[in-house]
Structures are given as structure tokens and as C-alpha cells.
Structure 1
Amino acid sequence: MSIASVRLILYVHDVGAVKAFYQTPFALSVTEEIANEWVVLAAGGIDLALHRVGETYRQQPTARAPGSVANAANTTTKLVFATTTDLPGHRQQRQHAGVHVGELKRYAGFA
């Protein structure tokens, strides 16, 4: 049997805000959408799906806005994107747009 990962689903409080967070800097196209409930973004070889959290969780407080330092520090979920563009330049553009972006990390044996 051959299997492949085709979709990653993130449960979020604000689908629109998280959609904008990923769509704006990475120009991901929308392939499916139900306003304020569900959106699927084409992210290369895998779809990034954003699903609004269930009713039970909607009243629970969130750390801060999507992509904030507080949210980044309170999750073990990390998304990794590959690019052929100028990564330091892209990072600087995101910082100027107000997005918190950590320092670039380089590892021996990886480009």
C-alpha cells in the first residue's frame, strides 16, 4: 500500500484571520471555502485546511492574534515551507509587515 500526506487541518478560532496570515505572505490560493468556518489553501504538495473550532471551544480565551509570539510559544505545531526565493529578503518583508519571524536557522547538510 502506498500512502501520502495530502492535507493538514488546523483548528482555529478565527478562520479569516488565520487565512490572511498564511495567504498574504505566501500567496497560497484558496481551493475550498465556507465563510468563517472552513478554508483550504493550496500549499504545494499538501493542502493547508483551516477549520473553525467546535462550539465547546469557542468561548475559551485564545493567546493572541494568529501568528503572534504568544501563540507561537504556546504550541508544538510548526509548519515548514520550502522556497526558491530570497529567504532573508522575504523574512525582512514579513517583519516590515508586522509579522513576528524568528531568526533564520541553518543546519549542516541542508541548503
Structure 2
Amino acid sequence: MKLQLETIIIFVQNINRLKSFYVDLLKLNILEEIPSEWLLLQAGGCNIGLHKMGEHYPNKSEGDFKFDNNTKIVFETDQDIRSIRASLMNEKVPMKEVKTFDNYPYWLCDGEDPEGNVFQIKQRKV
């Protein structure tokens, strides 16, 4: 399995306030933006994603997947994301389904480490 740290996502309450801090004050470049919902910033060798918290976020544990903190580590791979997911599930790692969004160039799959921290694997669509 070949993974490279690509992004750290921070779930936030006010994208615009943090945009002022990271873009205007720290001078980070914007790579992607969905106003008031999502901001991807170039920060050297690893990007910082600012993601607006959803309504479900404060609920401690809905189903078998946790959101006990506000950070998600994102790994990018050039290997088949479904094979990686299957391999991790064979090792008893909790994994969600592979998903994507309209007009988004990546496949995404969230998982959970042994202490409940959420991580994501992403693969560029071909």
C-alpha cells in the first residue's frame, strides 16, 4: 500500500473568519473554494482543508463511526482505492464506502484508526 500525506482537514464553524486568518494574514494560497463550506489551502508539502461542520457533528457517535475531534488526515494514493479499502477491512479497520461528488476529480474513502481518529484516502479519477 502506497500512501502520501496530502491534506489535513480541520472541521470549523466559520470558514470566512478562518479564511481571513490563513489567506489574508498568513498569505496561504487558495487551491479550492466552495464559499462558506470548504477551503483548501496550499501550505508547503501538505495542504490544509477547512470544512464547515455539519449539523450532525456535535453528536458523539452516530452508528459505528465517530467524530470526536475536528481533524481528519488525508492520504493520497495512485493505487486502486477499492483494493486499499478491502485490504484495510481485512485487517479489521472500520471503513466507510468509497464516494465522490459531482464535478470532483477524486474518489474518497474514510476510515478510523484504533483510537477512533478519522482518516481519509483519496484517489484521482482516471
Report the TM-score when normalising by structure 1: 0.48
* Greater fraction strand: 2
Report the TM-score when normalising by structure 2: 0.43
* Greater fraction helix: 1
